[in-house]
Amino acid sequence: MFTPSGIIALTTDFQSDSFYVAEMKVAAHQIARDAMIVDVTHAIPPQDIQQASWTLLRALEAFPEGTVHVCVVDPGVGTERKILAVIIHGQAVIAPDNGLFDVIASRYHVAAAIELNNEVYFGPRRSRTFHGRDIMAPVAAHLVRGIPLMSLGEAIHRPLVTDQAKAKVFAEREGDEIHGQFVYADSFGNCVTSIFEDDIPEDWDRRQLKVESGLFSVDGIVSTYGEREPGESAALLGSSGQVEWAVVQGSAAQKYGFEAGMAVKIVREKA
């Protein structure tokens, strides 16, 4: 079901100068000394579960099968929220069950899900406020070493995505319109939407589409930033396969004030 590749990928909201990142790496290294530990990002805004969930999707699509992902964005640490290990897209994802699985479990089939409760595979330290170091990193290291998933806890058989979350993740088509939302802004200020390339019908001429949000709009979906002049807005399919709103050599997030959760739509213009 899952064959580890030796890679542990870390995604957190700790920020790059945090000692917490090093503590997690040491906790994993002490168990799996040959593992390759890769930083996806530690710059998720604090407690921003939605941005972390979309970042997990990017990571899942970028890393090879057998990768073990650890995502620590955990405002409920120490409460009754569960920690899960999920096999999805040929990889393992260890994260709190707090919404972090919404996006990936909407896009890909969940092959197995385990609630982590076998303390044999936890670390020697047991704080109530740092489960990333004390539970998630050690469990990831044991997985990399080949410990079977089913040894880590109890299988769960409930959906990982609620109906409410699906409404936020998936774009919806209504006639000549496709409705979605902004989900995050990247480091360049490009505003990424929940509308994927496969949400746009193949027979729609992208040059005749308009992307709208509130009082703002941009005509046409282009292939590259270079098809617009510096300072101009551009709608295009980014490297994630999602429609994004950009300002060439600028920041759409700053210029328009777009934020995650704001509505955005694609309108098919009548010829």
Residue 1 lies in a domain: no
Residue 216 lies in a domain: yes
Model confidence at 259, in pLDDT bands (50, 70, 90)?
confident
Supply the range of the domain harboring residue 153: 7-164
- Give the CA angle between residues 170, 174, 180 to the nearest 5°: 35
| Furthest-apart CA atoms within the chain: distance in Å | 67
**Average pLDDT over every residue of 147-172:** 83
Residues 159 and 193 in one domain: no
pLDDT in tens, 189-203: 999 999 999 999 999
Question: What whole-number distance in Å separates Cα of residue 100 and Cα of residue 104?
Answer: 8
Question: What whole-number distance in Å separates Cα of residue 14 and Cα of residue 72?
Answer: 8
Residues 12 and 66 in one domain: yes
Model confidence at 260, in pLDDT bands (50, 70, 90)?
confident
| 261, pLDDT greater than 90 | no
- Domain boundary among the residues 130, 164, 198 is at 164
Residue 132 lies in a domain: yes
pLDDT in tens, 37-96: 999 999 999 999 989 999 999 999 999 999 999 999 999 888 888 999 999 999 999 999
Residue 2 lies in a domain: no
| 126, pLDDT greater than 90 | no
Q: If you search the block for the tokens 């640490």, which residue do you land on?
A: 77
Rg of the chain taking only CA atoms, in angstroms: 20
Residue 191 lies in a domain: yes
Give the pLDDT confidence score for residue 166 in this predicted structure. 61
Residues 228 and 198 in one domain: yes
In terms of pTM, does the model score above 0.75? yes
| 101, pLDDT greater than 90 | yes
Model confidence at 165, in pLDDT bands (50, 70, 90)?
low
Q: From residue 125, give the alpha-carbon distance in Å to each of 42, 48, 97, 101, 121.
A: 22, 26, 21, 26, 12
- Domain boundary among the residues 116, 144, 164 is at 164
Q: What is the CATH number of the domain that holds 63?
A: 3.40.50.10790
Residues 38 and 122 in one domain: yes
**Average pLDDT over every residue of 197-221:** 92
Residues 108 and 238 in one domain: no
pLDDT in tens, 59-76: 999 999 999 999 999 998
Residue 87 lies in a domain: yes
Residues 21 and 145 in one domain: yes
Q: How many domains does the chain have?
A: 2
- Domain boundary among the residues 118, 148, 164 is at 164
